[in-house]
Structure 1
Amino acid sequence: MTPGELSEARRLDALHKLNLLDTPPSAAFDRITRMAASMFRLPIAAISLTDADRQWFKSRVGVEHDSIPRLRAPCGQVAESSTVLVIPDLLQDDYFRDSVLAASGIRYYAGAPLTTTDGHCLGAMCVLGTEPRDTTPEELTALCDLAGMVMAQIELQHALGRVDAVSGLPNRNQFIDDFHDLQRDAGEGEQRLAVLVNLATHNQLAHAARAMKSSYLDELVTEGARWLRAEIGSGPRIYHVATAQFMLLSPAGETLDSWLPRVERKMQAALAIARTRYVATPSAGVVPFDVGHDDSLAVLRKARSAAHDAIDLPTHVAVYSQDEDALYQRRFSLLGDFGAALEGAGQLRLVYQPRINVVSGACVGAEALLRWEHPTLGAVGPAEFIPLIERSGLAQATTAWVLDAALRQQCAWRRDGLALQVSVNVSAANLVEPAFAASVAACLERYDLPADCLELEITESAIMEQPVKAHATLAQIAALGVGLAIDDFGTGYSSLAYLQKMPADVVKIDQSFIRDLAGDPRQQALVTAMITLSQELGHRVVAEGVETAPVLDFLRRAGCDEVQGYLFARPLEAEAFAGYSCPISTSALRVPKLTAPPRTTAVLPE
């Protein structure tokens, strides 16, 4: 679906939710159309709603039929553009001279958009005449005012009220209207502050909805509103803008220096109440804005962003940061773009980093790493995009892409005489996927590869998210004959019971334990224990992040089975890896050119 199609679908959804189409006449709307015809001294006026294929008239003066086709209807263009449209003479307009209106004798048209607070244009408040005419600026202003009256009536009649039923406070719609009034009435260049108070985190609300009685959230909101009214007093107006979120605007003349300390004191009091009476963590986001320049919804979004940032701060209050906001928007944009990268071609690829056997010095495999070349941003590092993917609904599709690409590359290497084992890192989402083991078997069958050529890498934290389902999936995979490896060992739970239950062949010690190993006796003792315990439980041990010869020498003496890192090679393109020759040659370890069939490890993160 293109952006235009998506926008139109959302507009139609907003229109249909209001239940206005094909409803009986209403005196309230008829008064507005009569007023429009009278003010313009024209025979025809209508409140026109743009459906998928027709213009339907909620109210009309001087028109017999209640709808016309949308094709070449001026009101349809108003709905598409959300702007005022004036056609002095339809017969002189190249596009509209062949329209139904022109054929029926209409020569003049003027329409103002009927726009919801969410920015969806429902149709137009329009006036029409049988003779060409000009339009004055005063008439256009009046027509827009009439359109505003129509939208106010729509909101009133369709339960888009102004007061929240639970908190008793003005709601989001009222905040938007009051913000617009502030922009109109305030002085040029005036600055204000917006403060959003968030009563609880998203996870806390979700857990409460599952564990507590249905009235719990209502009680939290009612108590929060009561507390805010008591603390704020008769000063700024408080708005209930979302389920557990409240917004207020500072009076004129307040600054960050004067208001921020008060907000921080109030939040400390709110935290004390929440900790004793509710499972909730309040936070507040503060946004300075210029009256007349900043949009109400933009201020609301920025305040929510700041309130989210405040959760981890000692004061639980954060001032909006443009840099943090830009970073968050970049992440959100990257996540959206990654879906297209999975479906298209040329953006994603795998690169390979050699794995070295410590005893023989042979290159025995490679870790394949996912890389992304964004069409406009260029290379996006895995440390930036992989965590986003693993927390999103794209994790399963990404694993499928990497698995397919790694096995396809394995086939190519086998045709050149290299029989390679491939290991793909899987996420927590894969371990709870009902048909994951079956999809792995299908991929192996598609490329006519044996099960023992594949190894899957799993992090400890991924297993512990839902251990029962994860262990069931791992048992199914092991039954296929596919190898299993524990990735990033030492950064998660790392319990002996966990190691004992896990049907793994390999333990990979995380690079955070390896990089500064040479000069840290305590770290050396810890890594030695990891290696010994893992091997005694029947696992091979791989050390990641080896960058210096002293670290390599220590790992050899400690009995580590395999190593990898920049000491040997940075990640290589597939073609370069096939001809790789290890540059390290010492008295303790001599590594020849790739001679043995290597084992390739394909993983998502670096």
Structure 2
Amino acid sequence: MFLHQSLDHLEDERLKALVQLNLLDTPPSESFDRITRTASQIFGLPIAAISLTDRDRQWFKSRLGVDHCSIPREGAPCAQVAETSDILVIPDFEKDALYADSQLCRSGIRFYAGAPLITREGHSLGALCVLGTQPRTTTASEIAALRDLAAMVMTQIELQHAFGRIDPLTSLPSRTQLLEDLDDLADERPDEERLAVLVDLARPEQISAYARVMGPDRVDDLVQEAAQELRRLVGRERKLYHTAAMQFAFLAATGTQTDAYVRRLTDEHRAARQRSLTGMLLTSAIGLCAFTPRAMRPQHVLRALYSAVQDARSSPELVSVYSSATDEAYQRRYRLLQDFGPALRTDEQLRLVFQPRIDLSTGRCVGAEALLRWNHPVLGPVSPGEFVPVIEHSSHAQAMTAFVLDTALAQARRWHDAGHELAISVNVSAANLNEAAFGNSVKASVQRHGLTPERLELEVTESAVMQDARQARHQLDALATAGIRLAIDDFGTGYSSLAYLQSIPAHVVKIDQSFVRKLEDGERERSLVRSMIGLSHDLGYRVVAEGVETAAAADCLRAMGCDEAQGYLFARPIETDLFATWFRQHESSFRGA
């Protein structure tokens, strides 16, 4: 009974080794066919094959003189070779007790010689075999040649298996091997809690700069040095993987407690950076992911590690554990980025709303700010505070502004035709100011809609101008010369407000709502806003206060001489089809007063 169980276990291990090599049912290969032809020529026989012994079949990776891709395992001499791991010679099938009634014998085969294909671990995968239709014997030199050719087959198998699984620079297992090992872990210990670690040596831009100065060969040297150091730190009992050019991964020992291990890694990483062992550890980051193999697929484990490394880049210790909440937020941002392009090409998702701007001295509505809204088909309404910063830093930034500008100007034209002479404000980003033809395209849009330039006001922030001050100033000068009004948005939140008040050719300063909402907190807050208004007026700007929500704040701003205001006190952002109704009601109440 024990012997039977032991044999079953050995067969299971053999089959597992065969499956892991990914040879079964793969296309023909000239490198294997060349060996098969050589065996046929040495023996002077018409039939030769590289035969792999599967659970219930013999599958031919290479074959000469054989029509079928596989034959049943039962009664096949190659199966005996795989089971015994030894040379098998059958001089005459008709005189052999085991094979006289086999399928091969009935098909006319009389001679067989096969040498085992044995892995380094001792598993026999099958045989390199030659067959003939006439009985014959073999010589010692023929058997020696057959053994040598079988060894060549195994060398080819190992080379193909290693290709893509061993990194040539560090000789460490690759990302492909890591994924396969995680798959094996899911089969063998699916519910075991494990901890994966990813070490990222440096940011890509740092590597590029280093290669530019020192040359790519020196970068390779640094990677090899890092691999040796990490191998020492991880220990020989742990497998270290080289998963990307500057990234290494490993699995912590079974039973490792995440919190304690993070503290240990943080201390070791801090010490390593202080020693600067490889010259690159000063900028390295470490990401960790706790998982169970059954619950998390290998690709997900690797992606989670990448996510943790990116989070580590923003942490003081440059070490971070994967957070599903943080990852979900990132995935959501990525989805918004991916889905914005299609949204621009439909009529159902994107729309504009308009928030009125009120002249504080008269109470009349003199303009409106165009604000973009997005109703995502799956996520539902998405706040502009969430998606606009994402889109502004992407390739969609210019298209987003173009959509808002064209839609807003079309609406301004409709209001003009209805007798409402309102100025329209549109926000522009740094990406727009970097467009060489931005000024010309804006002027063309205004002309296309039949509006005078002063009906359009473009709002820019100080931070947007600062990204490329020379290019931004060039665009702003061209726009101002064309008669288009310019406003400095979120004034007071930048780091060079006074300098830019003197140089930007703007007409309006919009005081950020963070200052306006504190007007009722105390005299110090009121004094700050009063100074902003006075300074702006002295420099010739018209002043707009954002975020006005109370009558007391409006009265305070009016007393300070602020020109305009917008905020929830007057109106929330209004849908396009409702704006005309609101405007008529507001004008009616104004006249009635």
Q: 1:514 aligns with which of 510, 513, 516?
A: 516
The letter for the 2-side match of 1:375 is: P
Give the secondary-structure state (helix, strand or coil) at the position aligned to 1:500: helix
Partner of 2:126: none
Alpha-carbon shift at residue 303 of structure 1 (Å): 1.1
What is the alpha-carbon distance in structure 1 between the residues aligned to residue 477 and residue 161 of structure 2?
Answer: 55
2:183 is aligned to 180
Partner Cα distance (1:537, 1:266) in 2: 57
Change (3 A) 1:31 1:361: farther
Q: In structure 1, what is the Cα distance between the partners aligned to 2:269 and 2:277?
A: 12
Inter-CA distance 300–242: structure 2 relative to 1 (3 Å threshold): same
> Hey, what does 2:249 align to over in structure 1?
247
Residue 39 to residue 574, structure 1, CA distance change in 2 (3 Å): closer
The 1-side partners of 2:497 and 2:448 are apart by 37
Note if contact 1:193-1:288 (Cα within 8 Å) is conserved in structure 2.
yes
2:222 and 2:278 in contact (8 A); partners too: no
Q: From 263, 270, 273, give the equivalent of 1:268.
A: 270
Shift of 1:261: 1.8
One of 374, 377, 385 as aligned partner of 2:376: 374
Instruction: Give me the whole-angstrom Cα distance separating, in 2, the residues matched to 1:569 and 1:561.
Output: 17
Distance, in Å, in 1 between the alignment partners of 2:203 and 2:361 is 52
Deviation string for 1:95-148 (max 9, x for gaps)? xxxxxxxxxxxxxxxxxxxxxxxxxxxxxxxxxxxxxxxxxxxxxxxxxxxxxx
Q: What is the aligned counterpart of 1:281 among 280, 283, 287?
A: 283
1:567 and 1:329 map into 2 onto residues whose CA distance is: 37
Is 1:569 paired with 2:574? no
Structure 2 CA distance for partners of 1:36 and 1:362, relative to 1, 3 Å: farther
Partner SS for 1:470: helix
Counterpart Cα distance in 2 of 1:162 and 1:236: 17
Distance 1:444-1:155 versus aligned 2 partners, 3 A rule? farther
Contact 1:506/1:540, CA 8 A, preserved across alignment? yes
Label 1:164 to 1:518 Cα distance change in 2 as closer, same or farther (>3 A).
same
Q: 1:294 aligns with which of 293, 296, 299?
A: 296
CA distance in 2 between partners of 1:367 and 1:454 (Å): 10
Report the AA paired with residue 444 of structure 2: A
Amino acid at match of 1:329: Q
Aligned equivalent of 1:115: none
**1:306 shift after superposition:** 1.4
Percent sequence identity over aligned pairs:
47
CA distance in 2, matches of 1:320, 1:43: 46
Q: Which residue of 18, 21, 30 corresponds with 1:25?
A: 30
* Residues 202 and 280, structure 2, Cα contact 8 Å, conserved in 1: no
Whichever of the two has the greater Rg, that structure is: 2
**CA-to-aligned-CA distance 1:449-508 (integer Å, 9 cap, x gap):** 222221111111111111122112222222222111111111222332222111111111
* Pairing of 1:203-222 with structure 2 (within 5 A): 203-205=205-207, 208=210, 213-214=215-216, 217-218=219-220, 220-222=222-224
Q: Which residue of 2 aligns with 1:549?
A: 551
Q: Deviations over 1:400-449 (max 9, x none)?
A: 10011001111111121112322221111111112212221222232222
Matches within 5 A, 1:398-417: 398-417=400-419
Specify the SS of the correspondent of 1:196: strand
Structure 1's 23 and 252: CA in aligned 2 closer, same or farther, altered over 3 A?
A: closer
Structure 2: distance between partners of 1:60 and 1:345: 63
Q: For structure 2, list consecutive stretches of 5 or more residues without a partner in the other structure.
A: 1-26, 38-47, 69-152
Q: CA deviation at 1:280?
A: 5.0
In structure 2, the residue matched to 1:227 is 229
* Inter-partner Cα distance in structure 2 for 1:23 and 1:445: 67
Q: Matched residue of 2:348: which SS?
A: coil
The C-alpha deviation readout for 1:367-408, integer Å capped at 9, x for no partner, is 121111111222111111111101211111100100110011
Shift of 1:557: 2.0
Contact (CA 8 Å) 1:581, 1:593: kept in 2 or not? Answer: no
Which of 329, 336, 339 in structure 2 is aligned with 1:337?
A: 339
The residue identity in structure 2 corresponding to 1:385 is F
1:97-246 correspondence to structure 2 within 5 Å: 156=159, 160-185=163-188, 187-205=189-207, 208=210, 213-214=215-216, 217-218=219-220, 220-246=222-248
Aligned partner of 1:560 in structure 2 is: 562
- Paired with 2:279 and 2:542, the residues of 1 have a C-alpha distance of 51
Offset at residue 43 of structure 1 (A): 12
> Which amino acid in the other structure matches residue 26 of structure 1?
S
Q: Is the 8 A contact 2:28 2:61 kept in 1?
A: no
- Aligned equivalents of 1:296, 1:346: Cα separation in 2: 38
Partner of 2:493: 491
Matching residue's letter, 1:495: S
8 A Cα contact 1:350 1:574, kept in partner: yes
Name the CA distance, whole Å, in 2 between partners of 1:182 and 1:254. Answer: 16
Residue-by-residue CA offset, 1:243-291 (whole Å, 9 max, x unaligned): 3222110111212144222112122223434599559533222111113
Quick check: 2:288–2:305 contact (8 Å CA) kept in 1? yes
Amino acid at match of 1:247: A
CA shift, 1:310, in A, is 2.1
Task: Identify if the C-alpha distance between structure 1 residues 410 and 520 changes in structure 2 by more than 3 Å, giving closer, same or farther.
Answer: same
Once the two structures are TM-superposed, the CA of residue 39 in structure 1 deviates from its matched residue by 6.8
Task: Map residues 340-359 of structure 1 onto 2, 5 A cutoff.
Answer: 340-359=342-361
Contact 2:52 2:59 in 1 (8 A): yes
> How many Å separate the matches in 2 of 1:582 and 1:273?
72
Match of 1:442 among 428, 441, 444: 444
8 A Cα contact 1:270 1:282, kept in partner: no
CA distance in 2, matches of 1:298, 1:234: 26
Per the normalisation by structure 1, the TM-score is: 0.70
TM-score (norm 2): 0.71
**Residue in structure 1 matched with residue 75 of structure 2 by the alignment:** none
Tell me, in whole angstroms, the C-alpha distance in 2 between the residues paired with 1:319 and 1:546: 42
| 1:169 maps to amino acid | L
Shift, 1:326, TM fit? 1.4
The separation in 2 between residues aligned to 1:279 and 1:463, in whole angstroms, is 36
Letter in 1 for 2:231: R
CA–CA distance in structure 1, aligned partners of residues 273 and 588 of structure 2: 63
Decide whether aligned partners of structure 1 residues 242 and 37 sit closer, same or farther in structure 2, where only a CA change above 3 A counts: closer
Tell me the CA shift for residue 63 of structure 1. 7.5
1:255 counterpart letter in structure 2: Q
Residues 355 and 562 in structure 1, CA contact (< 8 A), matched pair in contact too: yes
* The 10-residue stretch of structure 1 (427-436 or 442-451) with the greater mean CA deviation from structure 2: 442-451
Q: Say how many residue pairs are matched.
A: 470
Given residue 437 of structure 1, which amino acid in structure 2 is its aligned partner?
Answer: G
Question: 1:28 Cα shift?
Answer: 6.0
Higher relative contact order (CA 8 A, sep 6+): 1
Query: Does the residue aligned with 2:574 lie in a helix, a strand or coil?
Result: coil
**What is the distance in 2 between the residues matched to 1:491 and 1:204?**
31
5+ long unaligned stretches in structure 1: 1-21, 48-58, 65-149, 585-590, 596-606
Output the aligned Cα RMSD: 3.5
Any conservation in 2 of the 1:506–1:541 contact (CA below 8 Å)?
Answer: yes
Q: Is the 8 A contact 2:476 2:505 kept in 1?
A: yes
Contact (CA 8 Å) 2:367, 2:425: kept in 1 or not? no
Structure 1: distance between partners of 2:180 and 2:54: 26
Of 268-277 and 553-562, deviating more is 268-277
Q: Which residue is 2:19 aligned to?
A: none
Q: CA deviation at 1:174?
A: 2.4
5 Å matches for 1:77-96? none
Change in CA separation of 1:61 and 1:341 when aligned onto 2, cut-off 3 Å: farther
Contact 1:274 1:280 in 2 (8 A): yes
* 1:381-530 correspondence runs (5 A): 381-530=383-532
1:157/1:189 CA distance change after superposition, 3 Å = closer
Q: Tell me the secondary structure at the aligned position of residue 26 of structure 1.
A: helix
The residue identity in structure 2 corresponding to 1:182 is L
CA contact (8 A) 2:511 2:543 kept: yes
